[in-house]
Amino acid sequence: MNSMGVKLEAFGMAELAAAVEALSNSVLHGNLTPFSDADVVELMQRLETCKRQLSALDSRLIIEACNRSLPESSGAKDVVPFLRQTLGLSRYDASVRVKIARQCGEFFEPTGHLRPATLASTAEAFEAGEISRDHVRNIIDVMNHLPADIAAETRAEAEDILVGHSRVGWPDDLPKIGRDILARVDPDGKVVSDVDRRRRRGLVLGRSGVDGMSWIEGWITPELRALLDAVFAKLARPGMCNIDDPDSVAATVKVVDSKVLEAAARRDRRDGGQRTHDALFALLQPGVDPAKLGSHRGLPVQAILTMNLADLERGAGVATTASGGHVSINEALTLAEGTRPVLAVLDADGLPLYLGRCQRLATPAQRLALIARDKGCTRPGCDAPASMCAVHHITDWAKDGPTDLTNLTLVCDHCHALVNDSPDGWKTVVMGKDSPYRGRTGWLAPKRLDPTSIPRVNDRHHVGQQVAAAIKSSCQKWGSRAA
């Protein structure tokens, strides 16, 4: 803050704006052809950091404008209309900027004292360019949903978890992390309970238009989502149930021929929404029994739920579905009673029982264990859930790699194609006993992407375990201090 203040005092506003404009023009109109691939990537990354820092500067300017009563003097009365009028922003964009300023900005109290930012850790990371505006927006949304009466230390720990993930992860993952945090700091469901979710349930079919099409909207419960995800994982795959292709694979086919499916998938030009529509249409056809949809990637088409033993014992927390969704412990147990899905319970280390087989194809039991352990594609950064993954030999079967659980992992079709022995191929290894990720799958990127050849794991599907460990550590730490 102080260093920025010195810079503003040393240069006039016109000079600062001219310097930013000159830099932008030089990059925008410059010739990038002489630069190497690595130089282009580095430029993109450094410019992204600069853009994030400039976004963080918005909060200071908004606070300064409010301190000078500029919204009132401009006739806009409020800060959101002022920003829209002055900067030509949408209402949503202006509202987001104001929300961020209120949570991450420093305000002067009526007494003249400077009040620190409400989300100080978030503000610090934002100003450093380490996290984006979308990260901050999602962090604020999660923090606003936490119970008001939780300890300040636990609230700060929750913010640190979110900021720590944001430094290396994607904004899209933060709501999922927020659900894990909320399930653990609000185990009694005082903020969001199963009853609240059921009260909000509902689907609305709108009136048909002149073309006969109808819109649909609404909210579905986590239980219904888990059941639908299991069905759509099979019926909404490319090549399945395509109403535009009479030769695509029908819902009534229990055992799908991989070659037929691949050929139909190559012909499939539908987007995700169209495939989901066609899958639901196929499911509701006469003669289709949802309980007899055969198998998908070697397993019956049914909900697969994974929960931690500690959460099960205390009756709080969340269960994870094979499609990456979340269901409360109570909802998961109720679902298991009514529909008999697969229910896997993990030990304190998050590892299932060891299984070994002397054959090339993984057994259904092994695949269930992999779903419980890996939860999704193991390549770093991939968000494909377990329902979209195949079983991969870490040491290839052709190289005498056994079909044992310790040599198997989940990989989506796209990432599977990246594993090969070429200079541009990825490699997979089992993380050793000395690694904090022992037993999990490490991925080595090609030398051109990572010259260090350090094996890395994918934590996108394991945020719940990290949150549980951090919250538990926080409670123990502050509990011992109180004692």
Say if residue 140's pLDDT is above 90. yes
Among 55-59, 122-126, 392-396, top mean pLDDT goes to 122-126
Distance CA 226, CA 467 (A): 22
* Token couple for 196: 């609240």
SS (H, E, C) 390-420: EEEECCCHHHCCCEEHHHEEEEEHHHHCCEC
**pLDDT average, residue stretch 221-241:** 84
- Give this prediction's pTM: 0.61
What is residue 344's predicted lDDT score, i.e. its pLDDT?
54
What are 165-206's pLDDT values in tens digits? 899 888 988 888 888 788 777 665 666 666 777 888 898 888
**Structure tokens, 339:** 């529909």
Higher-confidence residue of 155 and 397: namely: 155
Q: How far apart are CA 269 and CA 242, in angstroms?
A: 9
Backbone φ and ψ for 205, nearest 5 degrees, come out as -100, 120
Pick the closest to residue 291 from 303, 281, 280 (CA basis).
303
What span, in angstroms and rounded, lies between the C-alpha atoms of 176 and 141? 12
| pLDDT tens readout for residues 291-322 | 666 555 655 556 667 766 666 655 666 677 76
Distance CA 154, CA 204 (A): 39
CB 101, CB 58: distance < 8 Å: yes
Q: How many CA atoms lie within 13 A of 399 on its CB side?
A: 7
Cα 133 to Cα 49: distance, rounded to the nearest angstrom: 11
For 405-425, what is the mean pLDDT?
Answer: 87
pLDDT at 366: 72
Residue 453 has pLDDT above 50, yes or no: yes
Q: Which amino acid is at 21?
A: E
pLDDT at 471: 61
- Name which of 224, 173, 171 is nearest 197 in CA terms: 224
Q: Which of 435, 454, 452, 432 is nearest to 443 (CA)?
A: 454
CA R_g for the chain: 26
The distance in angstroms from the start CA to the end CA of the chain is 38
76 — alpha (psi -120 to 50), left (phi > 0) or beta?
A: alpha
Residue 205, token pair as written in the block: 């079919």
Q: How many CB atoms lie within 10 A of CB 23?
A: 12
Return the pLDDT at 292.
66
pLDDT band at 359 (very low <50, low <70, confident <90, very high): very low
Q: How confident is the model at residue 133 (pLDDT cuts 50, 70, 90)?
A: very high
Give pairs for 154-157: CB < 8 Å, separation 24+.
154/185, 154/471, 154/474, 154/475, 154/478, 156/121, 157/470, 157/471, 157/474
* Biggest CA-to-CA distance, the chain: 79
Residues of the chain above pLDDT 70, percent: 76
Residue 142, burial from CB neighbour count under 10 angstroms (0-12, 13-18, 19+): buried
Token pair 């055969």 in the structure block, residue: 294
Instruction: Take residue 44 and report the two structure tokens written for it.
Output: 């993109």
Which among 185, 138, 187 has a CA at the least distance from the CA of 162? Answer: 138
